[in-house]
């Protein structure tokens, strides 16, 4: 499997060019690029052509542009316009997917089936807007509409678009109590990326994104997860996505280096 660094792991206030340089030095294979890192960097690095050149210079594959709200019940156009911009960026730099989360509650008076239909219609619209870039659906653990892969697959299938897939995040799947059977039901060609991270030992209902840890430093059943990925046949990117203030306070080079060291140590164990 290939190693990947999600730029949010270094902190939102860090310069993209510094993160990419550190990722290259650490030996990552690819990066997921937060649009909030990309946009302020463009005037400094020569626009999207400059970003593409910077990725090549550091031998980093652009794995995804992230993160975008599915916003299935949006009445305006703000989320859709941002999504379309993400698609433009992804096409320009050669990123194959937009990471697309959904943490929506189901509106009062709407059944879950109706909400899934609305999410599918929205997904189809987004897929058309960014094709051939893929819409990659990210379930958010313990949420009502798309809390796990079964709902994501339902939305994907109802959307009926070839450029839609799903992802796995070890933290969200653990927090959501996702079963092995639900994970193994993900078709290999539709499992587009895996986020691998660890977690503090807390009651699952108390876990928040800020409790994530470097791979191998917590209590998540990552070795078991690896066996499931192998059964599916997944051989793509393992992308580390962590939202931890302790790490964000570290120098960019340190957090990137320690992220790679932890990932490598776990993969070699």
Q: Is 160 left (phi over 0), alpha (psi -120 to 50) or beta?
A: left
pLDDT of residue 188: 98
Model confidence over 122-147: pLDDT tens digits?
999 999 999 999 999 999 999 999 99
**Residue ranges making up the domain that contains 145:** 2-268
Which parts of the chain sit beneath pLDDT 70?
A: none
CA distance readout (Å), 186 to 35, 91, 175, 204: 27, 26, 18, 24
Please give the biggest Cα pair distance in the chain: 53
pTM attached to this predicted model: 0.97
pLDDT per residue as tens digits for the range 47-97:
999 999 999 999 999 999 999 999 999 999 999 999 999 999 999 999 999
The three-state DSSP-derived secondary structure of the chain is CEEEEEHHHHCCCCCHHHHHHHHHHHCCCEEEEEHHHHHHHHHHHCHHHHHHHHHHHCCCEEEEEEEEECCCCCCCCHHHHHHHHHHHHHHHHCCCEEEEEECCCCCCCCCHHHHHHHHHHHHHHHHHHHCCCEEEEEECCCCCCCCCHHHHHHHHHHHCCCCEEEEEEHHHHHHCCCCHHHHHCCCHHHEEEEECCEECCCCHHHCCHHHEECCCCCCCCHHHHHHHHHHHCCCCEEEECCCCHHHHCCCHHHHHHHHHHHHHHHHHC
Q: What is the CATH number of the domain that holds 257?
A: 3.20.20.150
- How many domains does the structure of the chain reveal? 1
Calpha distance 256→104 (Å, rounded):
31
Q: What pLDDT shows up at residue 153?
A: 98
Distance between CA atoms of residues 201 and 112, nearest Å = 32
């Amino acid at each position: 499997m290939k190693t990947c660094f999600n730029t949010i792991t270094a902190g939102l206030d860090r310069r993209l060019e510094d993160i990419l340089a550190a990722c290259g030095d650490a030996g990552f294979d690819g990066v997921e690029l937060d649009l909030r890192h990309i946009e302020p960097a463009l005037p400094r690095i020569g626009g999207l052509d400059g970003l593409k050149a910077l990725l090549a210079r550091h031998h980093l594959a652009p794995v995804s542009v992230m993160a975008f709200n599915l916003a299935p019940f949006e009445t305006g156009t703000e989320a859709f316009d941002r999504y379309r911009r993400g698609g433009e960026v992804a096409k320009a730099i050669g990123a194959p997917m937009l990471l697309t989360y959904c943490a929506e509650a189901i509106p009062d008076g709407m059944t879950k089936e109706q909400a899934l239909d609305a999410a599918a219609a929205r997904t189809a619209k987004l897929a058309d807007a960014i094709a051939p870039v893929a819409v990659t659906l990210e379930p958010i653990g313990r949420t009502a509409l798309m809390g796990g892969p079964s709902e994501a697959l339902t939305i994907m299938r109802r959307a009926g678009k070839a450029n839609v897939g799903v992802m796995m995040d070890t933290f969200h799947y653990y927090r959501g109590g996702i079963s092995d059977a639900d994970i193994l039901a993900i078709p290999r060609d539709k499992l587009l990326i895996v986020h691998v991270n660890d977690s503090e030992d807390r009651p699952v209902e108390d876990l928040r994104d800020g409790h994530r840890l470097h791979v191998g430093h917590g209590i998540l059943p990552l070795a078991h997860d690896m066996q499931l990925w192998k059964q599916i046949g997944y051989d793509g990117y393992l992308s580390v996505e962590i939202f931890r203030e302790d790490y964000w306070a570290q120098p960019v080079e340190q957090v990137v280096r320690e992220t790679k060291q932890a990932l490598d140590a776990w993969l070699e164990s």
